[in-house]
Homo-oligomer: A and B are copies of this chain.
Amino acid sequence: MTSPHPAETAPAPLRVGMIGYGFMGAAHSHAWRTAHRFFDLPRTPELRTLAGRSPEALAQAADRYGFAQTTTRWQDVVEDPEIDVVDVCTPGDTHHEIALAALRAGKHVLCEKPLANSVEECEELAAAAAEARARGVRSICGFSYRRTPALAYARQLVQEGAVGEIRQVRAQYLQDWLSDADAPMTWRLQKDKAGSGALGDIGAHVIDLAQWITGTDITAVSGTLQTVVPTRPAAGDMQGLGGKGDASGERQQVTVDDLALFTARFEGGALGAFEATRVAQGRKNAMRLEIHGAKGAIAFDFERMNELEVYDATAGAGRQGFSRVLTTEPEHPYAAAWWPTGHGLGYEHTFTHEIADLVRAIGEGSDPSPSFEEALQVQRVLAAVEQSSHDASRWTSLPAPAPEAASPNPTDAAGGTR
């Protein structure tokens, strides 16, 4: 019997420190453990340190997620010379401080979205990322849905011109977990913690996707924010999602929106209809995109994440229709790394793909996508929607991007090794 790891050929592991261990921590750590099992990566991730506030929960999470050690000071992670990458999974209000410190300490940074809770903080982070980039430090913001094979393929089709000049975008992120007026309070419903409600938490995803897939930025918006359920029962633990309120009967003020509607103008002239809601009774995770161009269209719903619908207006007369493409073929982004045709992937694969792309970028010395600059652009859209909403929904322009703030040419979808 022999050991399969000849020590001399192994590249240096990529040592990961993660800050935050909630829902995103579970998803990220799974991805860090799994990416090199399915993708050929230049370095192998090693889960070194998990940081968090509550020592007990932290120890349990570290055990569950596979981290070697823990700390209640996030600074320990940033300062540790034995750590190569800092993965920021905390609520949005702490991203700015942590990510900035990590970049300055020369760590590669994966920062969950939102990049930060304000445009100003995002600008600082984008500037810091640009500086760090010059020193070979990589940074990426966690808009993980880009790594859904169907959506990466949608971008590919659009960029190849398969749908022609884009005219309309319909982008919705529909959930219903706040439909119950007695669903309890969470930090996600507090403006000081979460920065924004449905708009920033889930609307941000479809903003990012719409810009990324069309390859054009949003330049102006007209929007409306609403809080359909304005108070909620106090919750004991303030966890992020689900659960039940406590029995005291006290109701607390929701300080963010739970429904956001806006119209957007894209650089190329296309018009977009956006919606983010958590009170869309019956829709569980319906992140839907429809893009109509002069030559074709695509449609997607994350509730059926392994399918992309593609319409080709140049098909023969009588043969035109939306084709339901199962994006599990070797030709589809990321799919070759996984299972045979028709065997679908799940939500967590988007993170595994993100980590695979990040590790490759670090190994190759290229810049992964979405950059902090791209995340800043999303934040500018969010801010403009809020401003428009405060201004009776008047069209509100985004500031023209400074030339130096233009996005770097990012590394895209990893292939696989099936």
Contacts and interface: CB of A to CB of B under 8 A. Distances in A.
Given A69-B3, A394-B394, A303 B344 contact: yes
A393 interface: yes
Contacts of A224: 222, 263, 271, 395
Given A37-B33, A311-B281, A324 B326 contact: no
Contacts of A299: 282
Nearest to A226: B271
A329 B348 contact: no
Interface in A170-191: 170, 172, 175-177, 179-181
Interface string A27-44: 101100110011000000
Interface in A32-66: 33-34, 37-38, 49-50, 58-60, 62-66
Contacts of A280: 168, 290, 292, 297
Nearest to A63: B4
B340 A317 contact: no
A65 B37 contact: yes
B318 A67 contact: no
Interface string A320-341: 1111111011111000001111
B313 A321 contact: no
B37 A30 contact: yes
Q: Which of A49, A176, A321, A394 has the most CB of B within 10 A?
A: A321
A279 B67 CA distance: 47
Interface in A244-271: 259, 261, 263, 271
A310 interface: yes
B228 A282 contact: no
Nearest to A162: B319
A283 to B, nearest CB: 8
B70 A285 contact: no
A175 B342 contact: yes
A281 B315 CA distance: 13
Nearest to A30: B37
A241 B4 CA distance: 26
A285 B342 contact: yes
A163 interface: yes
Given A3-B69, A170-B275, A321 B317 contact: no
B292 A70 contact: no
A133 interface: no
A24 to B, nearest CB: 11
Interface of A: 1-5, 23, 26-27, 29-30, 33-34, 37-38, 49-50, 58-60, 62-71, 76, 153, 163, 167-168, 170, 172, 175-177, 179-181, 222, 224, 226, 228, 241-242, 259, 261, 263, 271, 273, 275, 277, 279-286, 290, 292-297, 299, 302-306, 309-311, 313, 315, 317-326, 328-332, 338-349, 392-395
Given A177-B341, A180-B313, 13 more contacts: A4-B59, A26-B38, A179-B294, A222-B222, A224-B263, A242-B340, A242-B341, A280-B290, A281-B311, A282-B297, A310-B321, A321-B326, A322-B324
17 contacts: A2-B69, A3-B70, A4-B70, A26-B38, A33-B34, A167-B279, A168-B228, A168-B280, A170-B275, A224-B263, A242-B341, A277-B292, A282-B299, A284-B341, A286-B342, A321-B324, A323-B323
